[in-house]
Amino acid sequence: MIDVGVVRSQSNGMVEIYTKGPDGTMKLLGTQQVHAGANQNVRVHIGHPVRRDIVAVLRVGGEVLATHRFDVIER
């Protein structure tokens, strides 16, 4: 589970979580729908632990409106 936090969107859209694969391509790990306005406690289920840094993408109508990089901390 990736806790993205608060997501503000101008329209209904989707938060997509990606990681870079060993070959350098971006791999989609999971998605979560969001509505127009402020979305509290947005979480994206990915089904397994994350081993590499990830990128959250806010996509509305096929356009990327925002991105945010999350660094994975080894524990």
- Tally of domains within the chain: 1
Q: How many CB atoms lie within 10 A of CB 50?
A: 14
The answer to whether position 9 is within a domain reads: yes
Could you report the per-residue pLDDT of 36-53, keeping only the tens digit for each? 999 999 999 998 888 888
Residue 63 lies in a domain: yes
For the whole model, what pTM was predicted?
A: 0.88
Cβ neighbours of residue 11 closer than 8 Å, sequence gap 6 or more: 36, 60, 61
CATH number at residue 24: 2.60.40
pLDDT at 21: 84
Answer whether residue 1 shows pLDDT above 70. Answer: yes
The 8-class DSSP code of residue 22 comes to T
